């Protein structure tokens, strides 16, 4: 087979895509209307977007127009990925040497025409040290091109397998157990109403070191309507989160959310009591918020059209309707978010996120404990 069908530019494009996909965990993204350019995405990298442009740019006017068009595409990607800041690397492969490159706050442009230019580029060398190694080689024959294509396809298949594993429907167990426990506790309190006074959350109980109330109160409900509304919410939200986050992590998140919700509630309680699963349920929403942000490539519409609006609406209702413990809702929401940071999300969370989540959650508990005793 004739190797000449691949020119130097094709070889450079293949090498770049191969390197960024296999070594730097970038993924190709589809940009509508883009021709002679490849867009790559890694939201955890210094440059969230890399654009490889093979179109010939012969003067500064054309370069400025190209930058303007890039800005439009970048704004679309930012909205889709809920990114406030987004650094973009614009790699131009065919540009007149007389064109003056001007970076802006978002886009950094480099002009390279061959592999040697790429390896000598100071900016790329600092951010992507591996780009200087022997891994990035010219693909002078069809077998090397095919090998690079196979590597890219393999990497893409691995990412698809991870996605399938996370979002594959799974048997719901923990959510059902929690609902059953809440229902059983409700009927027990009908038979023995005094249990509500013994196990509901109260500031005086906390001051008496009855810390078990922080968790037991999350399984008690003050009436049938209260129970039904919370259990319906728990089923809708819990079954979704348990599927994607896993049973063990889901259980930990629920408990830590209930605990943080009760702690926030105890700060504002006076002589009254608080009970109900809503603090923990808000924690599950906080967890979905954290999960949705990390998987926003796939869940951006659900995050902006469902999860965030539901949280906002419920918080507004809590402020406008009497008898609702909105402090528990806010505490649960924060607790669920931090608890998810602590336990982590498969394939997404880093060790530093686990540590930061645990530290912030613990410090917040200590601070709230101090405030409760200080205000007593």
pLDDT in tens, 82-92: 777 888 999 98
Please give the pLDDT value at position 145: 57
Q: Which of 329, 349, 350, 352 is catalytic?
A: 329
This prediction has a pTM of 0.79
pLDDT grade for 24, boundaries at 50, 70 and 90: confident
- Check pLDDT > 90 for residue 8: no
Per-residue pLDDT of 211-260, as tens digits, reads: 999 999 999 999 999 999 999 999 999 999 999 999 999 999 999 999 99
Q: Average pLDDT for residues 37-64, to the nearest whole number?
A: 88
Residue range 188-218, pLDDT digits in tens: 999 999 999 999 999 999 999 999 999 999 9
Distances from the Cα of 324 to the Cαs of 186, 232, 266, 317, 318, in angstroms? 19, 17, 14, 8, 6
Question: Does residue 140 have a pLDDT over 70?
Answer: no
Contact (CB, 8 A) for 161 and 198: no
More confident residue, 15 or 238: 238
Q: Is 278 a catalytic residue?
A: yes
Q: Give the mean pLDDT of 36-47.
A: 86
Mean pLDDT value across the chain: 86
> Is it the case that residue 100 has pLDDT exceeding 70?
yes
Q: Give the pLDDT of residue 3.
A: 47
Side-chain-side CA neighbours of 80 within 13 Å: the count stands at 13
Q: How far is 231 from 238, CA to CA, in rounded Å?
A: 10
In our burial notation (b when 16+ CB lie closer than 10 A, e otherwise), range 172-200 reads: bebbeebbeebeebbeebeeeeeebeebb
- pLDDT of 253: 98
Instruction: Given the residues 18, 278, 287, 294, select the one marked as catalytic.
Output: 278
Q: Are 301 and 287 in contact (CB under 8 A)?
A: no
Mean pLDDT, residues 69-83 taken together: 82
* Confidence band of 143 (pLDDT split at 50, 70, 90): low
Q: Where are the domains of the chain?
A: 3-162, 169-375
The average pLDDT across 71-82 equals 82
- Give the helix/strand (H/E) hosting 88: strand 88-92
Indicate if the pLDDT at residue 351 is higher than 60: yes
pLDDT at 142: 54
- Report the pLDDT averaged over residues 291-317: 80
Question: What average pLDDT does range 297-304 have in this prediction?
Answer: 70
How many residues would you count in the chain?
A: 376
| Contact between residue 93 and residue 51 where contact means Cβ atoms under 8 Å apart | no
Report the CATH fold assignment for 169-375: Rhomboid-like fold (1.20.1540)
49-53 vs 107-111, strand pairing mode: unpaired
């Amino acid at each position: 087979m004739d190797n000449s069908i691949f020119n130097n530019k094709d070889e450079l494009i293949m090498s770049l895509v191969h390197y960024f996909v296999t070594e730097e965990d970038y993924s190709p993204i589809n940009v509508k209307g883009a021709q002679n350019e490849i867009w790559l995405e890694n939201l955890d990298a210094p440059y969230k977007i890399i654009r490889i442009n093979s179109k010939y740019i012969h003067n500064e006017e054309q370069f400025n127009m190209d930058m303007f068009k890039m800005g439009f595409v970048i704004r679309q990607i930012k909205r889709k990925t809920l990114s406030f800041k987004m650094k973009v690397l614009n790699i131009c492969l065919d540009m007149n040497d007389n064109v003056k490159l001007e970076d802006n706050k978002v886009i950094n442009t480099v002009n390279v025409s061959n592999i040697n230019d790429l390896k000598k580029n100071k900016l790329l060398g600092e951010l992507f040290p591996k780009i200087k190694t022997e891994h990035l080689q010219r693909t002078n024959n069809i077998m090397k091109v095919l090998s690079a294509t196979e590597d890219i396809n393999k990497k893409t298949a691995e990412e698809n397998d991870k996605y399938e594993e996370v979002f594959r429907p799974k048997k719901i167990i923990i959510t059902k157990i929690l609902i059953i426990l809440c229902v059983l506790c409700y009927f027990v309190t009908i038979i023995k109403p005094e249990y509500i006074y013994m196990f509901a959350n109260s500031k005086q109980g906390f001051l008496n070191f009855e810390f078990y109330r922080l968790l037991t109160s999350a399984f008690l409900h003050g009436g049938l309507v209260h129970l039904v509304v919370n259990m319906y919410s728990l089923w809708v939200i819990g079954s979704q989160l348990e599927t994607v986050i896993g049973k063990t992590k889901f259980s930990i998140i629920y408990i830590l959310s209930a605990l943080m919700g009760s702690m926030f509630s105890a700060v504002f309680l006076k002589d009254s009591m608080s009970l109900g699963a809503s603090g923990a349920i808000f924690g599950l929403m906080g967890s979905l918020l954290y999960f949705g942000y990390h998987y926003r490539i796939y869940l951006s519409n659900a995050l902006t059209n469902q999860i965030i609006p539901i949280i906002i609406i419920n918080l507004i209702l809590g402020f406008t309707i009497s008898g609702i413990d909105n402090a528990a809702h806010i505490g649960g929401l924060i607790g669920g978010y931090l608890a998810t940071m602590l336990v982590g999300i498969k394939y997404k969370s880093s060790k530093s996120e686990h540590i930061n989540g645990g530290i912030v959650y613990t410090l917040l508990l200590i601070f709230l404990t101090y405030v409760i005793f200080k205000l007593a």
